[in-house]
Amino acid sequence: MNKTKNQIGNQIVLRYVITLALFLVGFPAVVIMTITLASSRVWHNSDPLYQLLRGMLDYFAIIVGTVYVGGIVGITAYYLNKPIRYLNEIIQAARDIANPSDEAIRLSKNLKSVEDELNLVREQTLRSAIVAKDAEKRKNDLVIYLAHDLKTPLTSIIGYLTLLQDEPDISTEMRARYTNIALNKAERLEYLVNEFFEITRFNLTTQILQKENTNISVMLQQIAYEFTPILLEKNLEFDLDIPNDIYYVCDSNKLERVFDNLIRNAINYSFENTKILLSIKNNDDNLEFKITNSGKTIPPEILCRIFEQFFRLDNSRQSSTGGTGLGLAIAKEIIELHGGNIMVESENEKIQFVVIFPKMA
């Protein structure tokens, strides 16, 4: 902005000097030409123009001096007033930026560079306002979803514990059943609280990766093994295509969270009695991880929102198939922190997530 201000100031001074110089040289030249032309003509005493010129000749020095000085003063005043006019335009533009609209700011032609900069500020202000509005909406969503998702298991816990308290003569079998249900709901409540704390931590802090050379093959095989009990419940199987000893420099704890979320998502939305394919390829310039499961085809309009916070494939938030709708959002953020990217596609009752990590130099 300072550079632009200096350029405008230099332009005004330069134009002032040129205009003043032209006047100082041009006015005497015009006077001399007028006198020369008047002297070359034969005048008659009865000619009104002759009488006028004759009268002016008596006050020639005063008239010429007055016009000369007046011209200098007028030119100087005009160019001194220009910065004030420009300043008023900029002040008005600054007021417009305070409450920006979609209409672009328009300034004088000589202020084109300033106009461009102010319009850039206006656009940034509009974007900031949109981001702030979106952040406020996300905060409100967090509160709403937190209240809704925590209320359901909490209500069940209180209900079953109340039954145990109010019915001291309840059978051992029913007591064990109620206790087991209350425990499951408490575990669900713990899971939800951890999810919300995790996404809040990702949103409010700058994540620092603790990188180390990690055997990705062993990590994936171990994570897959830990899901064995859940697979048995739905009659699912893993089809593993994981070569041995693939190493990658990464934050192993965070990548475990990524693979855990993706595998859990595949299990939740798989048809029973099907296989889930887990594969990893060690390409020349990247690592390519794929997880493919058989499940209901996801429409494109839903597929494009799948990594949004709080978005769930199952609209029923009480469904057992989903969590808070934060798992994939967290996974995407961790992947991007590692410089990678994640994609998803779905067709013919197949859902495939592809994660690509660039090789480290």
Shared-domain flag, residues 90 and 200: no
Kindly state whether residue 313 falls inside one of the protein's structural domains.
Answer: yes
CATH number where 305 lies? 3.30.565.10
pLDDT band at 278 (very low <50, low <70, confident <90, very high): very high
Which token pair is 337? 């922190």
Residue-number span of the structural domain to which 173 is assigned: 135-204
Shared-domain flag, residues 194 and 234: no
- What's the farthest any 2 CA atoms get from each other in the chain? 140
The tens digit of pLDDT for each residue in 185-214 reads: 888 788 777 767 766 666 555 567 888 999
The tens digit of pLDDT for each residue in 12-64 reads: 778 888 888 888 888 888 878 877 877 777 777 777 776 777 677 777 778 77
Shared-domain flag, residues 171 and 225: no
pLDDT band at 219 (very low <50, low <70, confident <90, very high): very high
Instruction: Give 137's DSSP letter.
Output: H
Shared-domain flag, residues 63 and 145: no
Which among 296, 295, 308, 290 is positioned nearest to 344, based on CA atoms?
A: 290
Contact 195, 234 (CB under 8 A): no
pLDDT band at 6 (very low <50, low <70, confident <90, very high): low
CA-based end-to-end distance of the chain: 40
Shared-domain flag, residues 282 and 333: yes
Instruction: Identify which of 157-171, 200-214, 271-285 has the greatest average pLDDT.
Output: 271-285
Instruction: Give 1's DSSP letter.
Output: -
Which among 276, 191, 286 is positioned nearest to 241, based on CA atoms?
A: 276
Q: pTM to 2 decimals?
A: 0.52
Shared-domain flag, residues 286 and 255: yes
Query: What is the average pLDDT value for the chain, to the nearest integer?
Result: 80
Shared-domain flag, residues 168 and 228: no
pLDDT of residue 361 exceeding 50: no
User: Radius of gyration (Cα) for the chain, nearest Å?
Assistant: 40
**Residue 51 identity:** Q
Beta strands 275-282; 286-294: pairing state: antiparallel
